[in-house]
Every structure is written in C-alpha cells, then in structure tokens.
Amino acid sequence: MNISSEDIRLSYDTAEILKGVSLQAGNKEFVGLIGPNGSGKSTLLKCMYRVLSPGGGCVYLDGAPLNSLSYKESARRMAVVAQHNYYNFDFSVREVVLMGRSPHKRAMERDNARDYAIVEEALEKVGMSAFADRNFSTLSGGEQQRVILARALAQQTPCLILDEPTNHLDITHQLQLLRIVKTLDTTVIAAIHDLNIAAMFCDRIYVLERGKIAGQGAPGDVLTREMIQKIYHVDSEIVKDSRGRTHILFI
C-alpha cells in the first residue's frame, strides 16, 4: 500500500512546526524519517496517524485522502507503534493485543475464535506467546514495545507507522524490534533517532530539518558527511563495511 503526504503544514500559535512536508512511501517500502530533536518528525507522523490535524495539506492512503476515511477505516489500513505506552490499569498482555482487533469490530460485535487466533499469531511473531497471561505493566520496556507491536500486527494493516518506538530501549531490543518489523510484508514509515540503525533498516530515508524535507534517498546517498554536518552539526566519517552497508562514525 502507498502512503503519501502532500504539503503538510502545521503551526502552534505563531511557531510553524511543519512548513509543507511532502513524502511518500511505496508498497512494502521501509521508509525512515530522521532529523534532530524538534525538527518535526513526531509532529509529521502524528498528522499522518490522525492524532493531529494539519493546518494545510493532505495525507493519502493508496490515493484516498485521509479525511474521507472514518477512524475505523484508517485504523484498518494503518497501525501505529508509538513511544509512550504506560497504563494506570492492569491489562493482561492478551487483552492489550486483543484491542488491536477493535477497528474490525462493529459496535456490539463480540470477539470470536478468529480474533483470538490472530492475537496468538501476532504474539508469536513478536516472540511473546509465553507472556500472554502476564500483566502488561509488569513487563520490561522491550517486552512492552513488542506487545504493542503485536497489537499493531493484530490490526492486520498493510501499513505500519513507527513513531520512535525504540526510544528507551537498549541496542539488543532496538535491533530485535526492528528486525521483526523488517520481516513483515508491509509498508513502513519509521521515525528513527539512531542514524546507524536507520542506515541498517531503511530502503529510503527522508531528512527533516526545521519542518522541511532537507533531503531524501537511499541511506548511502543521504547519510553523507556534509549532510550530517549540516543537519546535526557534528563531524563524522562514513565507512562502508565488507557487505557494502553504511556506517557512521562520529568524531
């Protein structure tokens, strides 16, 4: 599925956060969004998953303007894993994942055997089957994010948005989560902080700087010394390893 944004603008009071951002992700493409803190990555993604409504511009899912879809319809096409997931209440892991089925449910419809099967399958994909009856709040950060990913999988959407899902996770769990995502057969748009991780997983990268796209392309083309100097104001050295992958060393 294609997802694209066209000329997205958003201002808080007088501060313009997004100054006309257009990007697009093709079918089954893994698109990364990088940029310094405050560049508008999260704001842009929030516009795409409808938590914020942009002041101008439009988001399209397979050509359909997002505003023409109901929330249920958009939640059947696009699932989200975001950074903050803390609950005051104790849900079991299975209950949390089961909520991923709600966009597929009519008002009074009950959860059926198929929903439960989908939940089990999603838990298995993220390697959390053994935790199904555990209390969500007793899990570690990495485990919680995997459960949230399972919830997104239970939505069975052709598109997945990752809003810095690996914040607060150590390198093991960052890699683990993104590797699971990489095996999925879906379009992915992910805001990623760590440039090396972005280089590892993305098919294409957009660079966001102060609410504008400052560059885009394959990781090897975008992640250059000059670009990193310009955007992040740090010196770096770009190394290709034996497999031809890009690594960034900060000096």
Contact residues toward another protein (CB under 8 A) are: 46, 49-51, 70-76, 78-80, 82, 84-92, 94-95, 99-100, 102-103, 105, 107-108, 116, 120, 124, 129-130, 132-133, 155
Which residues are CB-contacts of 215 (< 8 A; sequence separation ≥ 6)? 206, 207, 222, 227
CB of residue 109 vs another protein: minimum separation in angstroms?
9
In the complex with another protein, which residue's Cβ is closer, 84 or 233? 84
Angle at which helices 141-154 and 113-125 pack, to 10 degrees? Answer: 140
Cα distance between residue 124 and residue 24, in whole Å: 31
CA angle 92/95/96 to nearest 5° reads: 90
- The SS3 of residue 108 is coil
Q: Which residues contact 133 (CB under 8 A, 6 or more apart)?
A: 92, 93, 94
- CB nearer to another protein: give 90 or 221: 90
- Residue 33 DSSP symbol: E
Q: Which residue has the tokens 């769990």?
A: 173
What is the nearest approach in angstroms of another protein to the Cβ of residue 232? 28
CB nearer to another protein: give 117 or 218.
117
Half-sphere exposure of 230 (CA within 13 A, CB side): 12
How far is it between the farthest Cα atoms of the chain? 59
User: 1: which strand partners?
Assistant: none
CB of 117 to another protein, least distance (A): 9
Cβ proximity to another protein: between 50 and 212 the closer is 50
Nearer Cβ to another protein, position 79 or 195?
Answer: 79
**Shortest spacing between CB 44 and another protein, in angstroms:** 15
Q: HSE of 242 in the Cβ direction (CA atoms, 13 Å)? A: 0
**How near is the Cβ of 78 to another protein at its closest, in Å?**
8
In terms of CB distance, is 108 or 251 closer to another protein?
108
In the complex, what is the shortest distance from the CB of residue 188 to another protein, in angstroms, rounded to a whole number?
15
